[in-house]
Structure formats: C-alpha cells, structure tokens
Structure 1
Amino acid sequence: MRAVTDRVVSNLPVPEASLLDEARRASLRGEDGHARLLQEIEALQAVEQGPPERVRPCPGTIRIAAFNAERLKNRPAARRLLQQARADIALLSEVDCGMARSGNTHNLRDLTAGTGEGYLLGAEFVELDLGDRSEMRAHAGERNVSSLHGNAIVTGLALEAPHLIPLEEAGLWFSGFKGAQRRIGGRMALAARVAGAAKPLWVVATHLESKTDPADRQAQIRNLLRALKAIAPGEACVIGGDFNTKALPRGEDERHLLLDAPERYEPLFADLAQAGFTWAGANLPLPTQTPGPSNKHEPPFGKLDWIVVRGLEATNPQIVPAVDEEGRAVSDHEMIAVDVRIG
C-alpha cells in the first residue's frame, strides 16, 4: 500500500502521454504492470490546494455537504445545490480534471470561480479511456488533457495539513469493465484540518469502491481509520462521501435499519463506531441513489451516501435533490448535508 502523503502542490502534474500509452498497451495485453505505474505517476502522490481568496472565519456550527457529483460535469447546477444546502464545506467525489467528458477543464476552478472559495483535490484515478462506454461513444475522437479523476473539498474556510490517504490499490479498474473505463489508481480519502476552529477538527472526503463487497469496503474503512489514528488521534472529525453501501436493505419497511443496525449488513459501521464515530443525527433513513441523468439505476434505490462524525454534535440532516433548475438530474446520487457543532 502506498504511504499517506502530505505533499501539497499548486497544480497536479499531468501524466506523461508516453506513460499512459504504455499503460494502455499493458492493460490490453493483460499484463500486471499496475503497481509500478501507480508509483511512477506523480499526480497520484500529492494534493492540489487552491487557497480561498477571502478566508471566512470558522463559525461555531458548520454546515457540511457531501456529494457524488458524477464527474462534476454540471458545475452551475452543483453550485446551485451547494447554495441550497448552505454548505460551509463540501466533500465531493467523482470530480474530473481535464477530462473530455466534462469539458476538458479544471472543474474545481470552474466551480469556485467568483466565489472566493478554495479547494483541495486528490487524484483517485488516472483515466486511460474517455470514460464508460456511453461516454466513449459521445466523445469519440476527442482526447483528455489531464485524465484525472478524484475527490475534493471545497470551502471558504482555511484548511491546513492536507493528506491523501490511499484505501486500496488492487488495480481492479486497470483492465476496465465491459471494454471501457480503464484506470490507474485506487480508492482514496482526502483529509484536512479546519484552521481557526475552536478545537482540532478534521474533514474527510472519500469514495469507497463500487465493484466490490462489504468485506472489501470494511477493509478500506479500516485503512482510513488507521491513517486518521496516526494524523488525528482522537480528534474531532467528519467523514463524508459515497460509501457504496450496496448491501443495506432497500425496502420501505426496512428503512429504520439503515440507522439502527447498518453494521448487520455493512460491517464497516462497526469499525466506525469502535473508532468513536456515529451516524445518528447526521443522516436520514432514506435512499440517496437516483436514476441519474441517463436512467442508469432502477428502484429500489439504496442509501449509499453517508456523513459520520466524531467529537461533534450533528443536527439537521438533509437530502438535497440533485437536479438543476429545470428539474433534470445532474447525478445518480442526491446531495446530503448536516450541521456540526463544535463544542
């Protein structure tokens, strides 16, 4: 497993084209070159930080949102959702940077332009294709300028001590799925401390693997908790993101189990509880998965997205429907939000 890194850069380096060509050839041949490539790509070993233009003072109660932004293709709609949620801090997953499918731009800079907010960006994957099969068809003949995809934190508050925490690096995506979406990288978490808070407070954006099982998700959470024990031992913390908790019950008559006993189905919750985290007060017992812009998913929908807290009081959980002003879906996940009181 790669080491946790606290290296901060102003721009994540664009992977060399020759290295990506080599990776594509190895992937097609079924060669086991992923581990070496993972170590050689500098963009996977650092955190990009864009500080706020105008740092806001840290309030006693912070509104935190978590959102799987589906490539962050629709930045105006995502900005509107954050405003609806009144988010002081946004924990984002599925954020593109320099991908043809989302405009070949730096999506976070577009999202924060004119707001005065800053951001952190950690690359989870270097994409070897244009995306999934539908994205490859839609963008045939185009090229990615950076090929990066990962997690992010957006806020007008000052963040310090950023860390990128690898959660797995099995190379599950190296050969792609159904002939598309080949990737170098692995699931990771992005952590930072909120400067100026009344006590040490960490925020963590993460995205657990979708093509796996509860035991593997538990292993990823254990890796995250092990890292947090080293960098933030016992300190107040908020973890939010797409946990991909697909084994949880989905029936309407079982929704009470989502908050009462999620560890029966997804053992990662037992590990979180043992480390002092709670989800009570921070979540609603409702699904967060949606059909999405392409009607990819069908009911019954699952609760995949979570915010868990330690050393904080969580109140006023909310689900913000992920639709634009015309009511069109912008993601296959709803945005979730909660107030956390630093006391």
Structure 2
Amino acid sequence: MPSPLGSSIRIAAWNAERCKYDRATRRLMEAVGADVTLLSEMDVGMARSGNRHTVHDLAEPLQQGFAFAVEFVELGLGDSREMRWHAGQSNTLSLHGNAIMSRSRLSDVFVVPLDEGGTWFCNSDADQRRLGGRMAIAARITSAPYPLWVVSLHLESRSTRQTRALQIQRLLAALRTEIGDAPAVIGGDLNTDAFPTGPAALREACEDPRDFEPLFNEMAEAGFSWSSCNDGRATQRTRPDGTPSPPFNRLDWLFARGVEVTGCRTWSAVDTEGTAISDHELISVDIKLV
C-alpha cells in the first residue's frame, strides 16, 4: 500500500550499475531512507544480475511501488568483463533501463527518448551490442500537496558536451509539453566528464558548472537550479575489479524547480565491508512539501 507523505520528502538518484548486489543495495536504500529514488542501469532478466527483475526485487521488501522503462535490449551478456564472468550463461529477457521507485503512488508516467538510438549497435564494440537509446522516465507523485513531478534521467556516456546539451534540450522540450512549468525534481547520471578533477577544483567548478557543461545553461533557462541540490563531491567509485581508476568526476546530479530544498548529500555506494556495489555514488536531496 502507498504510504502518506510527511511535511518533507527525500528524493535520491543513483546509477546502480545493473543492481547486482541485492542485499547490499537494499541496506543502502534503508540507510538513505528516500521516499522516491530515481534509478538508472537497472536489469530485468540479465544473467549478470541473476536474471532477476532488479527493480521489483528492490522495491518489494521496502514496500514501495515503481515504474520501469526499457532503455536497451541487450544482445549479449554485457561488457567485456561481464562476457568473461558469465560465459556460458544466458539472459532470460535481456532488458536494461531506468526506473522510479516510490513509497507514494505514481501516476501519469511517460518516457522521453533522448537520442536517435543505434550508438550501441552501429558504433559499438563487438562484445556489447544493444538496441535502443538513452531516455528519461517521468511521473507525478500523486499524494504530494501540489503537482510534483520526478524524472529519472540517463545521458549517453559516449558523448560530448554538445551532445549532452542536445539531449537535455530534448528532455526539456518534452517536459514543457507534458507538465508545463510545474514543480519538478530531475536526477540521474548525466555523464558530465568535462569538469576539472581533484576535490577542491571539482567543488569550485560545480558551484557554477555552466562554463564546463552547456547543459546547465539549458537547465537554468528552464527554471531548474542545482546549487542547493548538489554538494560538489565526485560521484565515481572504483569497483571490486579495480576499474575505474582516479581521478574521479561528478557524473550524477539533481535539479529542482518550484520547490524548497532543505539539504543534499552524496552517499557512499558500498556494502558493510566497504566494497563498492556500483561505480557510482548515490545522491539525495530533501524537499519541503508544506
């Protein structure tokens, strides 16, 4: 059953990188205590994640509902590492995508394609062929005291600053049509790799990132702010296999429009032993509702 919302809510965003570590991921979600989580890179029927419906398996024990949308149909077992690790296994459904998980009911769900597709089929390494393209999934939080929309976003990793800005233009054009200028929170993996690295330089760049990533100009013109939603920390993390290696950047962001932000945080995506469960950290923002 959907739960009523209080006077404030926490909205998290996380690239869970296949969501392979079910129990550790659930413990992280419990620690964060998010009312809404914007998820990307979630598997459904992939051998690399146990052929599970990872969104359902995460949401059900937390007594939350979800909306899931397919980003790619995978034509293999994954990247070169996953091809080695899962050799001889088979996918059951081969789906990979983005989701919104919420303890409050979601309504009016829609999907926004962000690119022309084909990048991971026509121009891909031979060991990771996939059909589809980057996308965003949006929904309205039904029990909020005013129309409040949330959007889970994933921009292309094989991209430039200019193509990322173009994807954001497509998202914002769709949002203008579907929700107008209603209050909204957008979050996810933007693959913003143009910032200087090193904690001090990165934090300074994140205070006004428009000179580094043009997509922030697009967001500002649409009324979305980021300064109170992000703490300027890097959101990349080394996986158990030693990749990726530092220096790290801030790839993951939250944006807010028409709401009062009261706090933000970057959470370490690790298990109880401190081992990474994704190559991305989780980020969150607190929103005052009444």
Q: Same fold (TM over 0.5)?
A: yes
* 1:285 pairs with one of 232, 255, 259: 232
How much has 1:293 moved relative to structure 2?
2.8
Matched AA of 1:225: L
Please list the CA deviations of residues 252-307 of structure 1 after superposition, one character each: whole Å capped at 9, or x if unmatched.
33234333221101000000000000001110011011112322111110000000
Please list the CA deviations of residues 227-267 of structure 1 after superposition, one character each: whole Å capped at 9, or x if unmatched.
10011101000000011000112133323433322110100
- Determine if the alignment matches structure 1 residue 231 to structure 2 residue 145: no
Residues 293, 331 of structure 1: 8 Å contact kept: no
* 1:168 pairs with one of 109, 115, 118: 115
**Secondary structure at 1:315 match in 2:** strand
Matched AA of 2:126: G
1:114 and 1:338 mapped to 2: Cα distance?
23
| Cα RMSD for the two superposed structures | 1.2
Match of 1:323 in 2: 270
Match of 2:210 in 1: 263
Matched AA of 1:94: E
User: CA, structure 1 residues 77+176, in 2 after alignment: closer, same or farther (shift >3 Å)?
Assistant: farther
1:134 and 1:181 mapped to 2: Cα distance?
10
- Determine if the alignment matches structure 1 residue 272 to structure 2 residue 272: no
Match of 2:189 in 1: 242
* 1:151 pairs with one of 83, 86, 98: 98
1:252 and 1:196 mapped to 2: Cα distance?
39
Residues 249, 257 of structure 1: 8 Å contact kept: no
Match of 1:40 in 2: none
Match of 2:15 in 1: 68
2:102 and 2:150 mapped to 1: Cα distance?
11
**Secondary structure at 1:94 match in 2:** strand
Matched AA of 1:210: S
- Determine if the alignment matches structure 1 residue 182 to structure 2 residue 126: no
Bigger shift: residues 250-259 or 160-169: 250-259
1:257 and 1:273 mapped to 2: Cα distance?
18
- TM-score normalised over the length of structure 1: 0.82
1:316 and 1:170 mapped to 2: Cα distance?
36
Residues 60, 198 of structure 1: 8 Å contact kept: no
Match of 1:199 in 2: 146
* 1:138 pairs with one of 85, 96, 102: 85
Matched AA of 2:44: C
1:265 and 1:118 mapped to 2: Cα distance?
37
Q: Runs ≥4 in structure 1, deviation > 6 angstroms?
A: none
**Secondary structure at 1:92 match in 2:** strand
Bigger shift: residues 245-254 or 81-90: 245-254
Please list the CA deviations of residues 142-188 of structure 1 after superposition, one character each: whole Å capped at 9, or x if unmatched.
11110100001111101100001101123110146432110100000
How much has 1:114 moved relative to structure 2?
2.9
Bigger shift: residues 220-229 or 248-257: 248-257
Residues 209, 244 of structure 1: 8 Å contact kept: yes
Match of 1:208 in 2: 155
Match of 2:50 in 1: 103
Match of 1:46 in 2: none
Match of 2:201 in 1: 254
Identity %: 47
1:322 and 1:252 mapped to 2: Cα distance?
18
Residues 59, 197 of structure 1: 8 Å contact kept: no
Residues 10, 286 of structure 2: 8 Å contact kept: yes
Match of 1:90 in 2: 37
- Determine if the alignment matches structure 1 residue 57 to structure 2 residue 11: no
Map 1:292-331 onto structure 2 (within 5 A).
292-331=239-278
Residues 58, 157 of structure 1: 8 Å contact kept: yes
Matched AA of 1:262: P
Larger radius of gyration between Structure 1 and Structure 2: 1
2:60 and 2:207 mapped to 1: Cα distance?
41
Matched AA of 1:183: R
Residues 75, 129 of structure 2: 8 Å contact kept: yes
**Secondary structure at 1:68 match in 2:** strand
Match of 1:26 in 2: none
- Size of the aligned set, in residue pairs, is 290
